[in-house]
């Protein structure tokens, strides 16, 4: 099963995807984490994307598509994955469809976390105070929200149109409350394998 966890920055995608590993028994693949790992190690790719990440901009589609493809081909993703932060544009969604179709697979469900902008802003500013992520500052957060509205939100219609289940879950409230809402909502999703 391929699940996409979808939502604006700070909506809890990474937080909830991590909690779902046990329930769904497939790995959590976060493109943000993959990119940050490259920058921390200082690989050529990491050096190439460091300033883009810090500015809160999206890295180029072709580049992230290669990163995702390599990760999805790893043995632990053979039975599926929880994708977090990918796809973030309609071209990325098309590339994912093609990649999965070449292996007889598809996106089985999209889990869309619904959180208002004031709440995500507060969460990201709180994280900025606790951790030191280069993109958790007011300027980069504003850019991430702008890109979400303009480039990422249309991805939901890309999936709704052909009938992929898009499950909208209220992402406000504490982490465990949101997790329980998701677990309940996923019970209605047919399993393909």
Q: Which residues are catalytic?
A: 13, 88, 126, 133, 144
Measured CA to CA, the distance from residue 70 to residue 188 in angstroms comes to: 31
Please state the closest distance from residue 160 (CB atom) to ligand B4P, in A: 19
Residue 86 lies near ligand B4P (rule: CB under 6 A): yes
- Tell me, residue by residue from 14 to 53, as one string, x for binding to ligand B4P by CB under 6 A and - for no binding: xx--------------xxx--x----------------xx
3-state secondary structure 37-69: HHHHHCCHHHHHHHHHHHHCCCCCHHHHHHHHH
Nearest to 4, CA basis, from 105, 148, 89, 108:
108
Q: What Rg value do the Cα atoms of the chain yield, rounded?
A: 16
Residue in the structure block whose two tokens are 């994708």: 83
The residue from 28, 71, 123, 158 that contacts ligand B4P (CB under 6 A) is: 123
Is residue 2 within the footprint of ligand B4P (CB under 6 A)?
no
What are 112's two structure tokens?
Answer: 């869309």
Site for ligand B4P in 164-183 (CB under 6 A): 174-175, 178
115-126: burial string, b at 16+ Cβ within 10 Å, e else: beeebbbebbee
For ligand B4P, the closer of residues 180 and 193 by Cβ is 180
Q: By CB under 6 A, is residue 64 in contact with ligand B4P?
A: yes
State which of residues 3, 11, 38, 181 lies at the interface with ligand B4P (CB under 6 A): 11
Q: Which residues bind ligand B4P (CB under 6 A)?
A: 9-15, 30-32, 35, 52-53, 56-59, 64, 84-86, 88, 92, 123-124, 127, 135, 144, 174-175, 178
């Amino acid at each position: 099963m391929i699940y996409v966890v979808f939502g604006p920055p700070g909506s809890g995608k990474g937080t909830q995807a991590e909690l779902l590993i046990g329930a769904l028994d497939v790995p959590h693949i976060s493109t943000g984490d993959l990119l940050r790992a490259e920058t921390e190690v200082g690989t050529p790719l990491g050096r190439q994307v460091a300033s883009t990440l810090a500015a809160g901009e999206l890295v180029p589609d072709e580049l992230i598509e290669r990163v995702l493809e390599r990760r999805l081909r790893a043995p632990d993703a053979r039975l599926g994955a929880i994708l977090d932060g990918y796809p973030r544009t309609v071209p990325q969604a098309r590339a994912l469809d093609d990649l999965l179709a070449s292996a007889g697979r598809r996106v089985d469900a999209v889990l869309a976390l619904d959180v208002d902008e004031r709440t995500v802003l507060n969460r990201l500013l709180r994280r900025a105070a606790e951790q030191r992520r280069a993109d958790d500052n007011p300027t980069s957060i504003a850019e991430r929200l702008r890109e979400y509205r303009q480039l990422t939100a249309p991805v939901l219609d890309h999936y709704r149109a052909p009938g992929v289940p898009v499950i909208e879950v209220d992402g406000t409230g504490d982490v465990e409350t949101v997790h329980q809402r998701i677990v309940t909502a996923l019970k209605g999703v047919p399993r393909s394998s």
